[in-house]
Amino acid sequence: MKGRTAVACLVVVAACGGAVAVQDSGGAGGASAVAANATAVGSGGTASTTASATTTTTTTSTSTSTSTSTSTSTSTTGAGGMTIGLACFQPTPASAPQPGALVDAGDCPTMKAGPNTIPVGNGTRDVLIAVPKDLQPSETVPVVFLWHWLGGSAQGFLDKADVQTAVDHYRFVAVSMVAKGDVPQGLKWPFMQAGTPVVGVSDARVQEEYGYFDKALACAAKTFPVNRHCVSSLGVSAGALWTQVLASGRGKFLASFLSLSGGEGQFFVRPWQPSARAMPAMVLWGGPNDACANLFNFQTLSKSLEGKLGAQNHFLVECVHNCMHSVPPFEPLPSSPTQFGALWEFALDHPDWLPEGASPWQKNGPPAGYPSWCAIGAGKATIRTGACPNPPGC
C-alpha cells in the first residue's frame, strides 16, 4: 500500500498477555481549532496550522490507493521535529460538527503527566497521561485513548511503547486507561455479553465504563488544550474488543478508532451497535490463526466487525499480517521515529469533520511506506508473507 508523504506516528501493540512489544497491549475548555504559529499543508492539500514551527520544505509525491494521483504539498517541521501533513492539524472548518457535550468537569483535578485519580460515579478511577514536553497554551493537540491487552497494564503500555517519545515528537496527549480489576476471569474490560456463563458482564457495568471514558475526556479537556475534533481510541486484543464497544456507544466523542486483534459479535463478545456517526476505523488482525486461549479467533471477530462497519458506511482500512496473535510486524514509515507510525498516522489524519464514509486517503493515498498488507476496504488486504519477528502469545 504505497502513498503520499505524510507524518508518521507511533502506536503500540502487544500480545494478549504474552510477549509484549507493541500490540494489545493528539485547551482548557476543549478548544477545537489548531493554534496558529505556522502554516502547513494537510493531507488533502489544504493549509493547516500548528504550533512552534521552524522549518519549511516542499515535497512532491505520486500516490496510489483506491485511486492514483500526483500531488504537491508544503510541509512544516514542528517543535518535535515531525513533518506536519495530517488532517487533524488543519484549521477546523465552519461546517465541522459540534462535539458531544462533555460531562461536568468541575470536580476534576488539575491533570498532570503520569498517574492521575479522577472521580467516576460514586468512586474514583485512575488514568496515566503522557503530555508533550513544553506544551504551549497556543497549541491544540489531539488525544488518543489507549486500552491495554489482557496481560498488560496502563504503565506497561506507556513503557514498552515509549509513548513519551512519541508524544513529544508528534504533539498529542495520550491517556492510558487503567483496568478496574472487577471483570470476571481477569478479562480486564467489560466487552462480554450479559448472561454469558462465567464471563458475562452486565449492561450496567458497560455504562460504568462509558462513564469512566467520559470523565477522563472531560478532565483532560479541562487541563490540556485538547482538539475535541481529533479524539481517537486504540485497543489491542482485550482492549480492542472493548474499543469497538466504546466506539459503538461514544461515536459523538470519537473521530476514529483502531482495533488490533479485536472484533465483535462472536464468542459471546458484545455486538457492534450503530454508532452516532460513521467514523473511520482500522481493523487489523494476524491472519486465520490469530487466536487467544482457544476462546477468541480474531479473524472471525474482525471480519464480523468489518461487516457491521460496512453496513453503516464507515471508512475502513484493513490490515492482515501473518504472525498470529503477535506484535504486528510494521516497518517504520519514512518520517516515523518508531516502528508503529502507520497506526498513529491513521488516527491523526481522520478528524470528525470528514463526511461520513470519507477519508483524505481515498484521494491522496495512505502515507508513503504504508504496509503492503493493508488496504482500503473490507476484504481488500492481501495477507503478509515472510518471517515473523516475534512469537505469538496470549
Confidence at residue 1, expressed as pLDDT on a 0 to 100 scale: 55
Determine the structural domain holding residue 366 and report its residue range. Answer: 38-376
Q: Rounded to 10 degrees, what is the CA torsion of 219, 158, 263, 314?
A: 60
Q: Is residue 86 part of a domain?
A: yes
User: Are the C-beta atoms of 177 and 144 separated by less than 8 Å?
Assistant: no
Cell of 154: 496502563
Cell of 181: 480489576
Instruction: Give the model confidence (pLDDT) of 282-309 as tens digits.
Output: 999 999 999 987 789 999 999 999 999 9
What Cα–Cα distance (Å) separates residue 169 from each residue in 82, 141, 163, 217, 350?
6, 12, 10, 22, 19
Residue 82 in domain = yes
pLDDT at 294: 78
Tell me if 196 is assigned to some domain. yes
Amino acid (one-letter) located at 290:
D
In a domain, 204, yes or no: yes
Cell digits for 195? 448472561
- Give domain status of residue 281, yes or no: yes
Using CA atoms, how far apart are residues 1 and 195, in angstroms rounded to an integer?
Answer: 42
Residue 346: partners with Cβ closer than 8 Å, 6 or more residues away:
256, 258, 280, 282, 317
Return the ∠ at Cα 319 (arms to 255 and 164), rounded to 5°.
Answer: 55
Burial class (CB in 10 A: 0-12, 13-18, 19+), 387: exposed
**Residue 336 pLDDT:** 79
DSSP run (H or E) holding 248:
helix 238-249
Which pLDDT band, with edges at 50, 70 and 90, does 239 fall under? very high
**Higher-scoring residue by pLDDT: 242, 71:** 242
**Strand 83-84 with 68-77, pairing:** antiparallel
Structural domains of the chain, count: 1
Which residue has 453503516 as its cell numbers?
A: 312
CA distance 308 to 375: 18
d(CA 52, CA 79): 5
What is the predicted pLDDT for the residue at 50? 33
52 occurs within a structural domain: yes
Q: With bands split at pLDDT 50, 70 and 90, how would you rate the model's confidence at 87?
A: very high
Domain assignment present for 389: no
In angstroms, the first-to-last Cα distance of the chain is 29
Higher per-residue pLDDT: 276 or 49: 276
Condensed to tens digits (0 to 9), the pLDDT of residues 88-144 reads: 989 999 999 999 999 999 999 999 999 999 999 999 999 999 999 999 989 999 999
Query: Between 6 and 214, whose confidence is greater?
Result: 214
CA separation (Å) from 208 to 100, 201, 202, 236?
18, 11, 10, 21
Lowest mean pLDDT, pick from 207-211, 245-249, 264-268: 264-268
**CATH number of 305's domain:** 3.40.50.1820
Enter the DSSP assignment of 174: E
Query: Which residues of 105-255 form beta strands (DSSP E)?
Result: 114-120, 123-130, 141-147, 173-177, 226-236
**Closest by CA position to 25, among listed 305, 318, 168, 234:** 234
Phi/psi of residue 371, nearest 5 degrees? -60, 140
Q: Is pLDDT at 4 greater than 50 in this prediction?
A: no
Rounded Cα–Cα distance for residues 112 and 145 (Å): 16
Q: Is residue 393 situated within a structural domain?
A: no
Rounded to an integer, what distance in angstroms lies between the CA atom of residue 10 and that of residue 22?
Answer: 10
